[in-house]
């Protein structure tokens, strides 16, 4: 490592679709170091790619890559408009790439630069789903056989043809399917509310007391419905109940909190600490779900974690298949070095994704570890990535039985 300040000489954006779309940022320095960042915003990928290419890349050329916090402030305060998923995902990608470069410059895995490990490995949960209860129980058994100690359980709902996150007759689903326009689902909340407590009780009866069970409601309930569901599943002893109400109006969580002791998790759609602030400081949630990609990178996720720590709220970051292996690595470096980190979602990837993104992180016995490679520990095979160009893909939308749009 030379004592002279390095400079950023190239900023490139790769859009690749090895089974699903990923937007990846590559920052190259005069000393020949390369840093990688994840800029994938599911279903709106090209907006972030353009933001980075057209508005951020020209501003980074000639800057010192070591000045991570200053660059974050420059991109956040400098834009004037602030916040929002496109801006914060772009800033997050730059932040990840600069932490990757700092790790490579110093020869250290990023978690060492964040203060070192506070735990030996990071607890993770994965998804199990089945349209009918027996299929769900089989799916839970299958992930337990792979060693998982925590499982998110989702099922079909009577009277529905499609339910987000659950496939009929097959284990896997992809959040954003390759379609020219969003698939439309019909959603009936009352039917779900009648069905879900029994499904979760059956899952608990099947697995016994030890396995951590989680459930994602996906923003679909009113405060009253959320309180009812929370009460109805209290005996199930969930690890968490996720996104019970839409995240915009946070006041309503007071009502939910007042009526149930079920642990609440929220925040995968939040982009900054300011959206987490009252939920954390009023202790309206138990877990904050902000993602390292969509909430401004490692630098900002740590700020959220620090606020949460004061209020005994723990981090349980978002990690579906649309969060690339680069971002998963970053989340693991934060997880290994952050005291109030609880659990990392890990949906897993298709085999091809592991080939395009070669990573030092690994899974074993229900836990993940970021590995000891310098930086984030992920290298992108650019030639392979170039063979899979962007394909249009959208998350679904949902309508009530009367045809009006609803949350999903």
Residues identified as active-site? 164, 218
User: Of 37, 230, 296, 320, which one interacts with ligand KDG (CB under 6 A)?
Assistant: 320
Query: Exposed, middle or buried, 372 (CB in 10 Å: 0-12/13-18/19+)?
Result: exposed
Joined tokens for residue 149:
């100690």
What is the smallest separation between the CB atom of 323 and Mg ion, expressed in angstroms? 11
- Each residue 56-95 as x (binds ligand KDG by CB under 6 A) or -, in order, gives ----------------------------------------
Q: Is 216 in the site for Mg ion (CB under 5 A)?
A: yes
Q: Which residues contact 225 (CB under 8 A, 6 or more apart)?
A: 189, 193
**317 contact choice in ligand KDG, Mg ion, none (CB below 5 to 8 Å, kind-dependent):** none
DSSP 241: E
Joined tokens for residue 231:
């009460």
What is the smallest separation between the CB atom of 103 and ligand KDG, expressed in angstroms? 27
Specify the stretch interacting with ligand KDG by CB under 6 A; choose among 52-60, 179-187, 294-302, 317-325.
317-325
Cα 391 to Cα 386: distance, rounded to the nearest angstrom: 13
> Of 27 and 288, which has the nearer Cβ to Mg ion?
288
Q: Are 334 and 302 in contact (CB under 8 A)?
A: yes
Interface positions, 266-295, toward ligand KDG (CB under 6 A): 268
**Residue 378: which H helix or E strand, with range?**
strand 378-380
Q: Are 178 and 390 in contact (CB under 8 A)?
A: no
Query: Exposed, middle or buried, 402 (CB in 10 Å: 0-12/13-18/19+)?
Result: exposed
Q: Is 45 in the site for ligand KDG (CB under 6 A)?
A: no
Specify the stretch interacting with Mg ion by CB under 5 A; choose among 16-24, 190-198, 233-241, 265-273.
265-273
What is the smallest separation between the CB atom of 396 and Mg ion, expressed in angstroms? 14
Comparing every residue's Cβ against Mg ion, the nearest one is 216
> Of 60 and 214, which has the nearer Cβ to ligand KDG?
214
**Residue 134: which H helix or E strand, with range?**
helix 133-145
What is the smallest separation between the CB atom of 393 and ligand KDG, expressed in angstroms? 10
Q: Is 322 in the site for Mg ion (CB under 5 A)?
A: no
> Of 6 and 322, which has the nearer Cβ to ligand KDG?
322
Q: Is 345 in the site for Mg ion (CB under 5 A)?
A: no
User: Of 6, 38, 95, 345, which one interacts with ligand KDG (CB under 6 A)?
Assistant: 345
Distance between alpha carbon 218 and the CA centroid of its chain, in Å?
14
- Each residue 165-184 as x (binds ligand KDG by CB under 6 A) or -, in order, gives ----------x---------
Interface positions, 182-211, toward ligand KDG (CB under 6 A): none
Cα 176 to Cα 183: distance, rounded to the nearest angstrom: 10
What is the smallest separation between the CB atom of 373 and ligand KDG, expressed in angstroms? 26
What is the smallest separation between the CB atom of 211 and Mg ion, expressed in angstroms? 19
Cα 51 to Cα 10: distance, rounded to the nearest angstrom: 16
Q: Is 100 in the site for Mg ion (CB under 5 A)?
A: no
Joined tokens for residue 258:
């007042």
Q: Are 326 and 95 in contact (CB under 8 A)?
A: no
Where do the H-state alpha helices sit in 263-398? 273-281, 297-310, 325-337, 351-356, 382-386
User: Of 216, 256, 262, 340, which one interacts with ligand KDG (CB under 6 A)?
Assistant: 216
Q: Is 275 in the site for Mg ion (CB under 5 A)?
A: no
Q: Are 18 and 356 in contact (CB under 8 A)?
A: yes
What is the smallest separation between the CB atom of 398 and ligand KDG, expressed in angstroms? 12
Which residue from 164, 161, 226 is spatially nearest to 397, judged by alpha carbons? 164
Coil vs helix vs strand at 22? strand
Phi/psi at 75 (nearest 5 deg)? -75, -30
Q: Is 38 in the site for ligand KDG (CB under 6 A)?
A: no
Length in residues, the chain: 408
Q: Tell how strand 287-288 and strand 314-315 pair up.
A: parallel
**320 contact choice in ligand KDG, Mg ion, none (CB below 5 to 8 Å, kind-dependent):** ligand KDG
> Of 69 and 248, which has the nearer Cβ to ligand KDG?
248
User: Of 65, 230, 322, 385, which one interacts with ligand KDG (CB under 6 A)?
Assistant: 322
Residues that bind ligand KDG (CB under 6 A): 42, 175, 216, 218, 268, 318, 320, 322, 345, 395
Residues that bind Mg ion (CB under 5 A): 216, 268
């Amino acid at each position: 490592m030379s004592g002279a300040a390095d400079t950023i000489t190239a900023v490139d954006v790769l859009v690749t679709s090895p089974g699903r779309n990923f937007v990846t940022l590559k920052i190259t320095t005069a000393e020949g170091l390369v840093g990688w960042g994840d800029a994938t915003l599911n279903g709106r990928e090209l907006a972030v790619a353009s933001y980075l290419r057209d508005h951020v890349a020209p501003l980074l050329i000639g800057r010192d890559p070591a000045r991570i916090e200053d660059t974050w402030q420059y991109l956040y305060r400098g834009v004037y408009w602030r916040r929002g998923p496109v801006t914060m995902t772009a800033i997050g990608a730059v932040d990840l790439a600069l932490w990757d470069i700092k790790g490579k410059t110093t020869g250290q895995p990023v978690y060492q630069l964040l203060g070192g490990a506070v735990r030996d490995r990071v607890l993770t949960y994965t998804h199990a789903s089945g349209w009918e209860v027996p299929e769900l129980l089989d799916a839970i058994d299958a992930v337990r056989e792979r060693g998982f100690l925590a499982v998110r359980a989702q099922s079909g709902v009577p009277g529905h043809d499609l339910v987000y996150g659950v496939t009929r007759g097959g284990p896997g689903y992809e959040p954003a399917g390759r379609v020219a326009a969003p698939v439309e689902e019909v959603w009936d909340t009352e039917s779900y509310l009648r069905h879900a407590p029994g499904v979760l009780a059956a899952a608990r009866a099947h697995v016994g007391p030890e396995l951590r069970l989680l459930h994602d409601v996906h923003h679909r309930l009113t405060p009253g419905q959320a309180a009812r569901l929370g009460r109805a599943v209290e005996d199930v002893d969930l690890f968490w109940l996720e996104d019970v109400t839409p995240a915009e109006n946070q006041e309503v969580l007071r009502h939910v909190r007042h009526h149930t002791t079920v642990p609440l998790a929220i925040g995968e759609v939040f982009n900054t600490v300011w959206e987490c602030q009252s939920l954390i400081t009023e202790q309206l949630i138990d877990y904050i779900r902000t993602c390292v990609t969509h909430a401004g990178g490692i630098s900002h996720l740590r700020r959220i974690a620090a606020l949460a720590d004061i209020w005994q709220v723990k981090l349980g970051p978002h990690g579906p298949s649309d969060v690339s292996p680069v971002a998963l690595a970053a989340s693991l470096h934060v997880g290994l070095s952050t005291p109030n980190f609880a659990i990392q979602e890990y949906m897993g990837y298709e085999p091809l994704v592991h080939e395009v993104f070669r990573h030092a992180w690994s899974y074993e016995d229900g836990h993940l570890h970021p590995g000891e490679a310098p930086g984030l520990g992920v290298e992108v095979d650019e030639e392979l990535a170039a063979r899979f160009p962007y394909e249009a893909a959208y998350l679904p939308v949902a309508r009530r039985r009367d045809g009006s749009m609803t949350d999903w």
